[in-house]
A and B are shown apart, each in its own frame.
Chain A
C-alpha cells in the first residue's frame, strides 16, 4: 500500500542543485533524487548506478558504459550527452564539486552510451568520489536556462534551487525551504524491479531543535529522526514504539594545535610557542582521558581514535594505538619542556556543530587543568567559531573540529590536513598576507609542517598500484602520529531514532538512503 516515510533531521538541504554545496546531508538527500554514474552501497562499497560498468582502458583513460533504460524525471532519456554536460557543469562556475574531476580531464563521448575520461596523470581512484557526483539533464538545463552552478546568495535565484530533474527513485512534489519537503516514488525508475523498500511518499521536516525532534519521534509523528542527542538515546530506546540505530561515523573529531606561530596566542608564555615542542604536544595528548569522555560525555557513543581517519576509510589501520592517558607523565613531560607550572592557552570550540562539542571542550579543559595547563575556553556558535579560527584569521591556540574524508580515502586528509600550508616551498606556513592563496594543506590550520609528509603526499597522488599506495599512506600516518601533528579524539557515533516497524540501513557516512527503508506498519 501507500507508505509514507516521515523523517526529520537537524537541518534542511541547502539547494536542489546537486553541485552547489558539497555537504553530507544535502548531497546524501539529493542522492535519492539524482544519481551518479556510481553509487555507494550501505556498506559504502562502490556499486554501478547510471554506469553499468567501467574499466581502465589505459592508465590515463577510464571508460564508462551507461545504463540504457534510464529516464529523467521529465521523461527524457539519459545519454552520454548528459554525462558530458554534467562533467562540464560540475567544473564550472561556483561548483563545490570541482575536485570530482580535474580541470584537465577530458570527457569524450564514444557513443550514446559510452563515455571516456582521459586524465593528464594516472588516477586509480577517479570514481571514488563520484558517489555524489550526480548526472543532470542537458536538454532540461537548456530548456530552463540552467546556468553554471552558483553559490546561494549570488546573482539571481537559480532555477535549480527549487527544481530538480534527476533520474533517481524519488521525485520532488513540493518544497518549502526550511519547513517541509515532500517527495514521491518515481514509478519510472530503472531500478524499480530490484527495490526492496515500500516507500511511496516521503515527507521531510527539518527540526533544528533536538528536544523537539526527539519529541516528534516519541509522539509518533516521525518515522526516522537524526541525530538523536546522546543523552536521549536511552529514552528513545526504552520508550515504547521507538528504537535507536547507532553506528560509528566516518567523521573524526580532533584538536588542532597552533604550531606555526612563534608566539602562542592567548598564553602567558611570551616570545615562544610551547606547542611547537613535541613534548608539550605529547603532554597534552596524554592529559586527555578519552575513555572517560567516551563514557561520560558521549555515553559510550564514540570510538576513541588514534588516527585522523576512521575505520572504513581507505588507509585506516588497527596498528595505530592511542598514547595512554597518563597525567603524571604529562606533567613530567611539561616540566621537561620547561613548563613545570604549566602554562595558559586558549581553546576554541563550536557549540552547535558536533555531538556534545562544548561538553567535550569543557571536559578537556578540566583535564588539562590537572596537568597544569590552564585553558581559556571559548565555545561559540559555528559561524563565529569558523570565522575566528579558520584561515585567514587563524585566531586560536588550540581548536576543536571534525572532518570526514570526502572520497573515503586517506589522501584527502593527508593533503588538506597534513601538508604544509604555504604557497611556495620556501615560504613560511600560513605566511601573513598569502593565506588565501594556500591550496595544499588548506585545512591544516595548525600549520603542521613536515617535508617528508609533503613528499609522500605527492607520491600517493600518483601511485596507481593499490598496495603500494596503501603502504605509502601507512607510512605517512606513522610519521604524523609520531609527530603528534594533531590530537585525534574520537569518531562520534551516528544515532538515528526510528519508529518501531520501520526498517532501514544506516550508512557510516550518515547518508540516509530511502531505497532501503521498509515500513511495516
Chain B
C-alpha cells in the first residue's frame, strides 16, 4: 500500500512533467497572445519586444525548463490578460467549479443509479423503455441547447430561476460556497441539471448493462433463495457488483466535468475555472492554460488514484497479490 502510493506519487510527477511538455508544444499553435495584450496602435517593434519579454521567442526547451523551474518554486506566472497571479485566479474559481461538478454528479447518481437498477431489473417493461429513450435526450442534444432552453423556460419565461451566475456566495476561509444561500441553490439547479443530464444517461445505461450481467449470477439466485429483501439484493448485492466499471466512468466523468464543463459554465456564466479556461483559449493566455492543464492533470491523477483505491475497497479479489498476474 505504502509503496503503491509512493510509486503513484512518482508516476504522477512524471505525468505532470509530460503534461507540461505537451502543453508547451501545444501553445505554439494556440495563437498569438500578444495581439490580445496590446492595442491596435502598438507598433510591431513593441509587440516583438513584448514577445521577447514573455519569453515566447526562446526555444521551446528553454521555455520549458524555465517554466518547470518556476513552478517548482511555486510561481505559476501572471495571466497575460488579467495581470494577476494565475494560481490565485484559479484558486478563487475552483470552489465554484467543484460545487457545480459535485452537484451534477450527485444529481446524476441519485437519479441515474435507481433508474439503471430498475432498467436492469425489468429490461422489458415500458417504464424502462421510456427511461432508456428519454435519457437519450441527455446525450443527443447539445449541452448548449439544453442550457439555453432551460434558461428560456425557467429563467426568462417563468422567471423562477436566475439565468446566470452563482447567486450569493459565503466565504468560508479560502472556500467560497454558494450552497449556504437560497439564491445560491436557485442558481446551481439549472447548470447542475444541464451538466448532470449527460452523466445521468451514462451512469444509468452503464448500470443497466452491468446489472443485466450480474443479475444472472448464481449468488444473486442464492441471495433470492435466502429470501433477502429485494432492495438488499438489487442495491446491495447486484449493484455493488456493477460498481467497478461504473466507478471508473463516474470518476472520469467527474474529472471531465470539473475540467471541461466549459460549455455549461459559459452558458450559465458560472464563475468557475472552465469559464476562465475558455477565455484563456480565446485570448491565448498561456500561463492560465498551462497552470490550468496542470491542475486538471492533478485532478485526473487524484481521481484516478481514488478510483483505483476504491477498486480495492469494493472488490476484495483485486487485493490478492499472490495470484501470478498475467504471463
Binding site for B on A (CB under 8 A): 12, 14-15, 17, 20-23, 94, 96, 99, 150-158, 161-162, 176-180, 205, 207-209, 211-212, 215-216, 218-221, 352, 381-387, 390-392, 403-404, 406, 412, 416, 435-439, 442-443
Contact = CB atoms under 8 A, between A and B. Distances in A.
Nearest to B154: A219
A437 B44 contact: yes
B54 A212 contact: no
B269 A207 contact: yes
B53 A154 contact: yes
Nearest to B86: A153
Interface string B64-87: 000000000000011111111100
User: Main SS of the interface on chain A?
Assistant: loop
Contacts of A437: 44-45
B63 interface: no
A162 B89 CA distance: 13
Which of A20, A153, A352, A385: most chain B Cβ within 10 A? A153
A96 B275 CA distance: 27
B41 A406 contact: yes
B275 to A, nearest CB: 7
Given A178-B275, A392-B44, A161 B31 contact: no
A96 B89 CA distance: 24
Interface stretch (B32-40, B124-132, B317-325): B32-40
A384 B53 CA distance: 20
B284 interface: yes
Contact of A22 (B42, B82, B281): B42
A161 B35 contact: no
The 6 closest A-B pairs by CB, nearest first: A22-B39, A383-B31, A152-B83, A387-B32, A386-B35, A153-B80
B260 interface: no
Given A22-B42, A436-B44, A437-B45, A153 B37 contact: yes
Range class of the B interface residue count = 35 or more
Contact of A386 (B32, B79, B81, B165): B32
Interface of B: 29-33, 35-48, 50, 53-54, 77-85, 89, 92-93, 148, 151-152, 155-156, 159, 162-165, 266-269, 271, 275-276, 278-279, 281-285, 287
B39 A436 contact: no
A490 to B, nearest CB: 18
B40 A383 contact: no
Residue among A15, A99, A436, A437 with the highest chain B CB neighbour number at 10 A: A436
A78 B81 CA distance: 30
A416 B156 CA distance: 46
A291 to B, nearest CB: 28
Contact of B39 (A21, A179, A211, A352): A21
B37 A221 contact: no
Contacts of B165: 180, 205
Contact of A157 (B38, B84, B162): B84
A416 B164 contact: no
A150 B78 CA distance: 12
Contacts of B89: 177-178
A31 to B, nearest CB: 15
A154 B156 contact: no
A209 B39 contact: no
A382 B282 contact: yes
A212 B163 contact: yes
Contacts of B41: 22, 96, 99, 406, 412, 416
Contacts of B276: 178
Contacts of B156: 215, 218-219
A439 B44 contact: yes
A17 B83 CA distance: 10
Contacts of B266: 208-209, 212
A386 B36 contact: yes
B79 A153 contact: yes
Nearest to B35: A386
B82 A15 contact: yes
Contact of B35 (A154, A180, A216, A390): A390
- Specify which of B31, B92, B267 lies most central, judged by the most chain A CB atoms within 10 Å of its CB: B31
B44 A219 contact: no
A376 B148 CA distance: 33
A212 B78 contact: no
Contact of B54 (A153, A209, A381, A392): A153
Q: In this complex, which of A155, A212, A381, A437 has the most chain B Cβ atoms within 10 angstroms of its Cβ? A: A212
Given A212-B268, A439-B43, A94 B50 contact: yes
A153 B48 CA distance: 15
19 contacts: A14-B82, A20-B83, A96-B41, A151-B53, A152-B79, A154-B50, A157-B83, A177-B89, A178-B271, A178-B276, A178-B279, A209-B267, A212-B151, A215-B164, A216-B163, A216-B164, A404-B40, A416-B41, A442-B43
A470 to B, nearest CB: 22
Contacts of A403: 40
Contacts of B92: 176
Given A22-B39, A212-B151, A157 B164 contact: no
Given A152-B83, A212-B163, A384 B30 contact: yes
Contacts of A218: 156
A331 B22 CA distance: 49
B37 A383 contact: no
Interface-central residue, A96, A156, A406, by most chain B CB under 10 Å:
A96
A158 B83 contact: yes
A155 B148 CA distance: 41
Contacts of A22: 38-42
Given A176-B271, A212-B163, A383 B33 contact: yes
A69 to B, nearest CB: 33
